[in-house]
């Protein structure tokens, strides 16, 4: 039995503008709608990790975002909830973590805003029906050959 061909979904690219806004395909999230917070990162690193505020948490209040269209806002509220957060702390510099957190947030928004195309049911083709029946006949012939003559 062969698998049905899957439709390829292309997610839009995420661009971080110089003013701090996120551009996701046709959607632009203004920098004013994003809340950036720097905290200390966890894990190894000694005093540098304990004292430096390099971990960045970016959050977007979907309900209060003025740069989102109403249709996008309701879709994001249904799929991701009222507040979307993303954090990055794997780099030693705050600037790199800020970029990484914004890219993660943009990727989550891009995945949520990409429309899912519904599967359309199709009837089997004539060739596939004939192939299926031919395989059934071949299997029946094989099983009948295995039976004893007096059955």
At the topology level of CATH, where does 14-113 sit? Double Stranded RNA Binding Domain (3.30.160)
Asked whether 54 and 94 are in contact (CB, 8 A), the reply is yes
pLDDT of 5 > 70? The answer is no
Residue 52, pLDDT score: 80
Q: How far is CA 70 from CA 37, 52, 110, in A?
A: 27, 39, 16
Q: Where are the beta strands (DSSP E) in the chain?
A: 14-16, 22-24, 27-29, 34-39, 55-61, 83-88
The per-residue pLDDT for 14 is: 83
Cβ 59 vs Cβ 33: under 8 Å: no
Using DSSP, state whether 111 is helix, strand or coil.
Answer: helix
Q: How far apart are the first and last CA of the chain?
A: 32
Per domain, the residue ranges of the chain are 14-113
Q: Does 75 score more than 50 pLDDT?
A: yes
39-68 residue pLDDT tens: 887 766 677 666 788 899 999 999 888 888
């Amino acid at each position: 039995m062969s698998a049905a061909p899957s439709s390829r979904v292309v997610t839009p690219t995420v661009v971080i503008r110089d003013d701090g806004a996120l551009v996701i395909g046709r959607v632009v999230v203004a920098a004013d709608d994003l809340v950036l917070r720097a905290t200390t990162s966890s894990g190894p690193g000694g005093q540098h990790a304990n004292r430096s505020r390099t971990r960045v948490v970016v959050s977007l209040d979907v309900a209060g975002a003025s740069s989102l269209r109403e249709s996008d806002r309701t879709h994001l509220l249904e799929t991701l909830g009222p507040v979307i957060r993303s954090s990055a702390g794997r780099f030693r510099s705050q600037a790199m973590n800020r970029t990484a957190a914004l890219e993660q947030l943009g990727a989550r928004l891009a995945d949520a805003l990409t429309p899912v195309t519904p599967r359309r049911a199709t009837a089997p083709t004539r060739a596939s029906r004939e192939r299926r029946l031919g395989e059934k006949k071949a299997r029946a012939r094989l099983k009948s050959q295995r039976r004893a003559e007096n059955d």
